[in-house]
Amino acid sequence: MFVCSVRASTLKFFALIAVTLAILITVLAVGEGDAVFASANGVEINYGNIKTKEDRIAFIEGFGLRVDAGSETEEAFAMPESLDRVLLGYNELQRSQGLDISKYLRKKVTHYSYRVTNYEAEGEVFVNLLVYKSRIIACDISSAESSGFVLPLTEIDKTKIK
C-alpha cells in the first residue's frame, strides 16, 4: 500500500506555478496574434491582420489616401543585423506612429510600394509598407523627388489630400 500526504502549502505552490504558466502562455499567444494596435497621435491604429493586397490597400485608404493598385511593387528581403545611422533615423520616424523596426532585425520582411493618386506634392508620391507575418512593421508616405519628403502615415498633411 502506498500513502501520500500533501500539505496545503504544497498545493498553493503548484497552484501558483499553474497560474503563472497560464499567464505566460496567454501573454505569448497574444503577442504572436495578428491584431497589433498602436497609438499614434492619440489615434489607435490596427497594424495587424494584413494578409492580402486588398488588406494593404484598405489600410492605406484608412488614412484618406487613394493608390493605383496596379502600381504595386513587392520585394522580400532580410532585415540587417543592426540599425545603421540611416535606419536609426527611419526607426525614429516609425516610433512616432507606434512602430519599431528594431524588433525585426534579421527577420525576412516584405516591402510593398504603391503610387498615391490623390496627394498634392511635386513629383510622384508613394506609400511604402514593410510587412512581417501579416503585420505592418513600418509605413510611410514619400516623394520620389530629390528634394522630397518622407513622413509617417499618421502625420500626413490632410490639406494635401484631394
pLDDT at 63: 95
Handedness of CA 78, 80, 86, 46 (dihedral sign): positive
Helix, strand or coil, per DSSP, at residue 7: coil
Tens of pLDDT, residue by residue over 90-121, are 999 999 999 999 999 999 999 999 999 999 99
The answer on pLDDT for 29 being more than 70 is no
Q: Which residue has the higher pLDDT, 76 or 11?
A: 76
The top-scoring range by mean pLDDT among 6-15, 32-41, 75-84 is 75-84
Q: Which cell goes with 52?
A: 492580402
What is the helix (H) or strand (E) element at residue 70, kind and residue range?
strand 67-78
Whether the per-residue pLDDT at 33 is higher than 50: the answer is: no
Q: What is the pLDDT of residue 12?
A: 59
126 SS3 class: strand
Rounded to 5°, angle at Cα 33 from 76 and 45: 80
Cβ atoms of 123 and 145 closer than 8 Å = yes
| Nearest of 117, 151, 112 to residue 128 by alpha carbon | 112
pLDDT digits (tens, 9 = 90+) for 2-13: 666 656 565 555
Q: What is the pLDDT of residue 20?
A: 52
Instruction: Please compute the mean of the pLDDT values over residues 21-43 and round it to a whole number.
Output: 50
Q: How many helices (H) and strands (E) does the chain have?
A: 3, 7
Give residue 15's pLDDT: 47
The pTM of this model reads 0.76
Q: Please give the share of the chain, as a percent, with pLDDT higher than 70.
A: 73
Distance CA 156, CA 162 (A): 13
Alpha helix stretches (DSSP H) within the chain: 8-31, 53-61, 85-95
